[in-house]
Amino acid sequence: MYKKYADGLIEVICGCMFAGKTEELIRRIKTFEYANKKIIVFKPKIDNRYSKDEVASHAGSKVKSHPISKAEEIFKYLKDEEIIAIDEVRFFDEQIIDICEYLANNGKRVMVAGLDMDFRGVPFEIMAQLITKAEFVTKLTAVCTVCGLPATRSQRLVDDKPAKYDDPIVLIGAKESYEARCRHHHKVLGNSKMDVIEKLSLSIKKNENK
């Protein structure tokens, strides 16, 4: 799978909350460690849900990491590592995109993981660009907490009710704030864009029936 791109590549692991993104990243990290590959791991300092200096999954798996605030801080820690792993990559500034490209262009294997969409179902720009530029993309799904179908959306809940469309994009949390949902059970209050499309659809159907 990787032989053709042995001189540098980008891998993206994406999906909704509780899809196992970090768990998969940790699995790959440990696989390369078992093979005695030189690897370094980074995480955004803002993500301290389970640990300050470890990448940790909801399931409890952990690996040591360097918590950083800005993407450029990656260069402070790099030595002769062959593989760079970055969890929750969408929390970084947009420079992370160019840094990942630079590292891959210079022979490094870059593995990143993170949410592909926010709680509204809108793609994160950083993830969208990395997905486009990557050699390999793994999109994971969770299980919808309502119906059991594959879940691709992160349902934010405030007092057990769907969050509003204009609520802050960043709210770090886990089961107390989010659930995995399928397309059909994902709800966002005040989504004016969907309201406009629904009205447009009804209007066109009404005119066709005249």
What does CATH list as the number for 3-208?
A: 3.40.50.300
Is the pLDDT at 10 greater than 60? The verdict is yes
Pairing label, strands 9-15, 62-64: unpaired
Comparing 89 with 194, the larger pLDDT belongs to 89
Tokens of 30: 């440990």
Q: Where are the domains of the chain?
A: 3-208
> What digits encode the pLDDT tens for the residues 60-80?
788 999 999 999 999 999 999
CB 43 within 8 A of CB 67: yes
**The pLDDT value given to residue 199:** 66
Catalytic sites, residue numbers: 88
> What digits encode the pLDDT tens for the residues 77-101?
999 999 999 999 999 999 999 999 9
> What average pLDDT score do residues 32-44 get?
96
What angle separates helix 125-133 from helix 95-105, to the nearest 10 degrees?
A: 20
Angstrom distance (rounded) from CA 82 to CA 109: 6
Tell me the pTM.
Answer: 0.87
74's CB contacts (< 8 A; 6+ apart) are 42, 68, 84, 86, 99
CB 144 within 8 A of CB 152: no
